[in-house]
Amino acid sequence: MSSPTAASPLPARRAASLLSHLLLALLLCLCAGLALALEAGAQRVEGAAGDKDAPQPATLRLLNRDIVTLRAVIAGATPQRRVDIALERIKALPESSMDLPLQALPFEFQKTPGTQFMLGDTNLFSVVEGDADSARGESLESLSRQTLARLEQARKAWHAANDRPLLLMGLLKAVAVTAGFAALVALALAFYRRSLQRLEALRDRMAARQVGVDWRELLARLAIGTTQIILWLVLLLFAYVWTRLALASFVATQPLAHELDGWLLDKLAWVAEGALEGIPGLATVLIVLLLTRAVADVLGYFFNAVQQGRLQLPFLHQETTTATRRIVTLMVWGLGIAIAYPYLPGSSSEAFKGLSVLFGLMLTLGSSGVVNQAMSGLVLVYSRALRKGDFIVVNGIEGVVTEVSSLAIKMISIRNEEITIPNAVLVASPIHNYSKLSHTHGTLLTAKVTIGYDVPWRQVHAMLEEAAQRTPRVLKSPAPYVYQRALSDFYVEYELFVGIDGAMQRVPIQSALHATIQDVFNEHGVQIMSPHFLGQPSQAVVVPKSDWYKAPARPPESS
């Protein structure tokens, strides 16, 4: 790491990485030049209109220079075969024949006019009317003149390539270009190292001063990555220029240098053309997304008004507003993206189609369970069965709902356990919500006792109501009341109903109510018939008040 005071040299691994990047850039440019050379030296076949069985044109190339493109079939020889024969004849020529006169002589083969190209007395190759490009209005005469001129240029290039002083001059130029390239690369790497050290030092200082997230530190990290990208681009540019100048240093490879220029210009033109063609589509996408955002904002304002109670609609409740807003917003954005998608540059390409198929396959194979839970979540939301903060009981599990998501709910039990229940389980199970009606009808709590027939039921009612009045956090209104739920063989089952001021405290209030009921019944000498027994004891099974606080229990401190 760099320090604010002194910049330490880059580690060896970073230097090795930069060297590998440089070699890779050179390799890429050399591969581009080699591809052009192979493409030119193999007499590439140009596309031909018409039937697929028709012979394809073939180009004769000498010293990386196009001489002529042959299209016609002569005496059963295809254009490619004619090119191969011409190359064999030219390669078989002795060096002494290169100074012989080069001439184009007319001839006629099977009533078809043509031109023979002779080097001295040697027939190099021939062209006929079928070799002329009729689509461009080319004639046999113009084709012959052009071919003869190109042959003369190729012969001059051959002489120049075999001229030792010129070859030595080319070598010197290549060495000078290579030295300049090495110097520029060294300067670029040195500048990159200094810039990187300063950026790293700035990043470290910001990280040391800031405990949380500092946007300036993020910008410094982004600048480090951008600097590396710029270095790559500069190295690629240097490598291209070196390749271009090195190829131009020799007569034999000068055409490749010009073709490399043409290749680069074609690629730049292709990129520029694609960018210009994509501007209208991108503008359309931007307009569609802005309109979609505006519609989503208007809908958000509408749903906020409903959620805050400023607007009331019969078909929309406050509990379902959040889920409805999410669904409608998702639909609006989905529609906007569907409208904007065809205008994205490259949206009709095979790559985009392949990604669409891949995402569709992933959703099809992996979303069955997710969709089931999500649909169950919608059922819970729109049935308004529960919400965050409710005290509920599901499958014997009771607790407070802390989170309601699209796939599951989370609740905290009375034992302080976080329990996750999938939405599908909730939909298939009865939900006891003790908080749903607490604000309007209040939350009721019950307690059951079984008392023998020898105790007057009116006394039992009075004792239960007295216990309810003594219990903290039991509401006076509605007043407690008692029902006789069963007349069993040995006892009567009574059930006390009381209102409490909060469903969240249901369990501790119920515990306090049970304790108070025992105290009141003990005070009045009435035994509770639990556990069951068949024989009536001689004395009532009660706890005298004097024994209520036996050790280790302690009586409450009097205020």
**Residue 361 phi, psi (nearest 5):** -65, -40
Q: In the prediction, which pLDDT does 52 show?
A: 52
Q: What residues form DSSP beta bridges with 432?
A: 393
386-433 against 443-533: fold identical: no
Residue 156 CA to residue 63 CA, distance in Å, equals 11
Taking the domain 386-433, which CATH number applies? 2.30.30.60
Residues 527, 540: contact at Cβ < 8 Å? yes
- Cα distance between the two ends of the chain: 68
Q: In the prediction, which pLDDT does 411 show?
A: 92
DSSP 504-556: GGHHHHHHHHHHHHHHHHHHTT-----S--SSPPSS-----GGGTT-TT--PP
Residues 438, 495: contact at Cβ < 8 Å? no
Q: In the prediction, which pLDDT does 76 show?
A: 83
**Residue 255 phi, psi (nearest 5):** -60, -35
Per-domain residue ranges of the chain: 58-161, 164-252, 287-368, 386-433, 443-533
pTM recorded for the entire structure: 0.50
Closest CA to 200 of 222, 231, 221: 221
Closest CA to 329 of 321, 339, 318: 321
Number of helices (H), then strands (E), belonging to the chain: the values are: 12, 13
CA torsion sign for 145, 146, 148, 149 is positive
Q: In the prediction, which pLDDT does 485 show?
A: 95
280 Ramachandran zone, left/alpha/beta (phi>0; psi -120 to 50): alpha
Closest CA to 15 of 181, 239, 186: 186
Per-residue pLDDT of the chain in tens (559 residues, 90 and over written 9): 333 333 333 344 444 454 455 555 555 555 555 555 445 444 444 443 444 556 789 989 887 788 888 988 888 889 999 989 888 888 888 877 777 888 888 888 878 898 988 888 888 888 988 888 888 888 888 888 898 888 888 888 787 777 778 778 878 888 888 898 899 989 988 898 888 888 888 777 776 666 556 667 677 778 888 888 888 888 888 888 888 888 878 777 778 877 787 777 888 888 888 788 888 888 999 999 999 999 999 988 888 888 787 877 777 777 778 888 888 999 999 999 999 988 888 777 777 778 878 877 777 776 667 777 888 888 888 888 888 888 889 988 888 899 888 889 999 988 889 999 998 899 889 998 888 776 666 688 999 999 988 888 999 999 999 999 999 999 888 899 999 999 988 889 999 999 987 777 888 999 999 999 999 999 998 888 765 666 666 666 677 777 777 655 678 776 4
Residues 5, 200: contact at Cβ < 8 Å? no
Q: In the prediction, which pLDDT does 252 show?
A: 73
Q: In the prediction, which pLDDT does 551 show?
A: 57
DSSP 110-124: TTEEEEEEEETTEEE
In angstroms, the Cα distances linking 481 to 253, 404, 443 are 108, 36, 14
Q: Report which DSSP code applies to 391.
A: E
Length of the chain: 559
- SS3 of residue 419 by DSSP: strand
**Which helix (H) or strand (E) element contains residue 495?**
strand 492-500
- The 10 Å Cβ neighbour count of residue 304 is 13
Residue tagged 């490009």 (tokens): 133
Q: In the prediction, which pLDDT does 164 show?
A: 78
Taking the domain 443-533, which CATH number applies? 3.30.70.100
Q: In the prediction, which pLDDT does 19 show?
A: 47
